[in-house]
Amino acid sequence: MTVQNILKMGDPRLLRVAQPVTEFDTDALHLLVRDMLDTMEAVNGAGLAAPQIGVDLQLVIFGSDRKNPRYPDRPLVPRTVLLNPQITPLGDEEEEDWEGCLSVPGLRGKVPRWSRIRYQGLDPYGDPIDRTAEGFHARVVQHECDHLIGKLYPMRVRDFSQFGYTEVLFPELADAEDD
């Protein structure tokens, strides 16, 4: 198990546009995916993007087969490793909901996201992934893919009265290791 250091907001590497993955089913790629999964699980993340650990590639992971203590009331999202993702909104409807981020520890904000999306990309073997998602699943995908274009969720917050410290906004989550 190799848990990687997660970059924090302010690190300029989080603002880069990530490069496409061009080689699939390699030992290096599988090791990177394993390290990302280990890191995400160690810190109770709902997802993790390669740029968050300083790797400049279009690679995100998200989902789990068990409830996440940082988001205890959210539905499960299927564990996914997604490379070179593309997101297409399915309609114009947006939903605002609370988000946190491993790169923005201890804070939460209400963020608008498309309600329904189609996401496409490849798995680590180069096989296609093509899914539709809504609700929390769609939110997680959009959040993680934002990291690939150098965006952190505070950049999408519209109302900063809906942004603050997790321990103040959600004291019941204090033990969920939000930072």
Active site residues: 144
- Give the integer Cα–Cα distance in Å for 91 and 33: 32
Closest Cα partner for 2 from 45, 31, 25?
A: 31
Task: Please classify residue 133 by burial: count the beta carbons closer than 10 Å to its beta carbon, then call 0-12 exposed, 13-18 middle and 19+ buried.
Answer: buried
Residue 117's nearest CA partner among 91, 140, 90 is 90
| 54/15 Cα distance (integer angstroms) | 11
Q: Count CB atoms within 10 A of the CB of residue 134.
A: 14
